């Protein structure tokens, strides 16, 4: 099945460009609270992996439409309203699996490519079946793709904030 991955591809490029722009020192700079940049990148990758798992699960529940939330609503909630914080479940917290930038890039690209391959091969069907999100509840496959993109955008903004913190440390 063909799916337009233009938005996912742009999102992937944005991640790689920002990652490559960071020095080794910036990647591991530990802010007063929260994760360092490399840990944030690892969280994005872990979340992508989990999204693929969820999208791969069978489901009998049907939405009746291709989207419940849609691109704009998810973007508004996840990126525009970034001040709303939701703690990541333990399974999505960084553990050090990505020890450096090169390792992160490899893991991240393999996962993003696996998503595209799974959709194109039909292993993941872009249908109107519902899969549950722990906060949002039922979401369609398109909603999950939008979630993946906007979750990543949210964390790219967080990384940009960390870079400003790094630059202003005294």
Q: CATH number for the domain including 85?
A: 1.20.120.450
Identify whether 56 is part of a domain: yes
Report the Cα 137 to chain-centroid distance in Å.
18
CB 139 within 8 A of CB 78: no
CB 37 within 8 A of CB 158: no
Identify whether 27 is part of a domain: yes
pLDDT tier, 98 (very low <50, low <70, confident <90, very high otherwise): very high
Number of domains in the chain: 1
Q: What is the pLDDT of residues 105-123, one digit of tens each?
A: 999 999 999 999 999 999 9
Identify whether 106 is part of a domain: yes
Residue 168: predicted pLDDT:
77
- pLDDT, average across residues 126-131: 93
Residue 166: predicted pLDDT:
87
Provide the token pair at 103: 């390792």
Strands (E), 57-102: none
Q: What is the CA radius of gyration of the chain?
A: 16
What single-letter DSSP state applies at residue 126?
-
Identify whether 1 is part of a domain: no
Q: What is the pLDDT of residues 34-43, one digit of tens each?
A: 999 999 999 9
CB 36 within 8 A of CB 29: yes
Name the β-bridge partners of 62. 129
Which are the contacts of 49, defined by CB distance < 8 A and separation ≥ 6? 111
Residue 150: predicted pLDDT:
97
Q: Which domain holds residue 115?
A: 6-168
């Amino acid at each position: 099945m063909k799916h337009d991955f233009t938005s996912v591809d742009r999102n992937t490029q944005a991640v790689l460009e920002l990652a490559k722009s960071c020095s080794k020192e910036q990647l591991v700079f530990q802010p007063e609270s929260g994760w360092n940049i490399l840990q944030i990148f690892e969280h994005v990758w872990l979340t992508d992996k989990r999204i693929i798992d969820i999208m791969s699960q069978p489901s009998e529940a049907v939405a009746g439409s291709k989207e419940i939330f849609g691109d704009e609503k998810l973007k508004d909630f996840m990126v525009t309203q970034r001040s709303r914080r939701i703690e990541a479940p333990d399974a999505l917290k960084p553990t050090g699996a990505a020890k450096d930038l090169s390792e992160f890039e490899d893991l991240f690209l393999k996962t993003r490519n696996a998503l595209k391959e799974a959709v194109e091969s039909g292993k993941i069907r872009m249908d109107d079946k519902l899969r549950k999100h722990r906060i949002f509840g039922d979401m369609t496959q398109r909603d999950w793709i939008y979630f993946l993109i906007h979750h990543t955008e949210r964390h790219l903004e967080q990384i940009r904030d960390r870079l400003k913190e790094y630059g202003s440390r005294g």
